[in-house]
Chain A
Amino acid sequence: MKVNTKIRYGLRTVIEIGCHDNTDGIYQKDIAKDQEISEKYLDPIISSLKASGIIKNVGGKKSGYVLNRALNEISVLDIFQSFENGPYLVDCTSRMNFCNRAPKCASREFWCGLNNMILEYCKNTTIESLVDRCRDLNTTVEDTVEIFERIQQPKEKKKKIMQAS
């Protein structure tokens, strides 16, 4: 079970654009460079983000990209849905009449619960919070290293804290 690569790269693209608040926007080649994504692979990603109204060209053709809405008005779910419907973990979560067992199926309810959890998680996070986080992370290299370690070893760290207390 993986998050679609287009969604992941789409999120990084939007974060990158959100971090550059200059009025000229940012060019595709710079997004590609900063985010270490292939410039060519960004073509379909940027066109999907444009189609769903999340980003736009600042001027005419060949101008840079800016966000089309305020940072706090774009959720990760908006980006998710620029690339696929959903999230749909199983077919029957979206359509009750997909299967005649649906109304009495405890496992369907369970998967729906997980599906809703993903939906809420994506809906409740705005690009603003991720851009803020990005700026925090960029303050010092030490901060980045520390947060990086925290992400990588959440359990060990928790254990240590518990032992210390």
Chain B
Amino acid sequence: MRINTKVRYGLRTLIELGLHENEAGMFQKDIAKNQQLSEKYLDPIIASLKTTGLVTNVGGKKSGYILGKPTSEIAIYDIYRTFEPELSIIHCTNKPVTCFISRICVANEYWMGLNEVMTDYLKKTTLEDLIKQHKKIQKKISKENQTIVHCK
């Protein structure tokens, strides 16, 4: 059970854009550099994010990228759905007939429960939450670094 790399990189791309919200937008090469991602691998990721409206060009072609929506309106599940179908950790969620046997249903019910817990987690967390968290971590790290300097 793994998270698709495109979903992971898509999330990091959006965090990067969310951190640099200015009018000029951000270029793909800068996103790649800051997030240590391959610039070429970002091509299909940004194209998909544009299709679902999470990212847009600030001007015409070759202009920078900005978020297509406010960070508070982008759930992580929206990013997941840009690259993947509805979260379904077992095949038989869509084929009830194969599971229409009482005992098998117990296992089905169990995995469906997990599926729901995971979907909720992805739906209730927004990009805004993660950007806040990112800033918190940065603050903590810079504070720790300062302490080290003082100690010397």
Chain A residues near B (Cβ < 8 Å): 1-4, 8, 11-12, 15-16, 19, 34-36, 76, 86-90, 101, 103-107, 109-111, 113-114, 117-118, 121-122, 125, 130, 133-134, 137-138, 144, 147-148, 151-152, 154
Contacts and interface: CB of A to CB of B under 8 A. Distances in A.
A137 B102 contact: yes
Contact of B106 (A86, A103, A110, A133): A133
B10 to A, nearest CB: 10
Contacts of A118: 1, 114, 117-118
Main secondary structure of the interface of B (DSSP, over half): helix
A15 B106 contact: yes
A104 B134 CA distance: 7
B100 A106 contact: no
5 contacts: A12-B103, A110-B125, A110-B133, A130-B106, A138-B103
B130 A147 contact: no
B105 A110 contact: no
B138 interface: yes
Given A110-B125, A117-B118, A134-B102, A125 B110 contact: yes
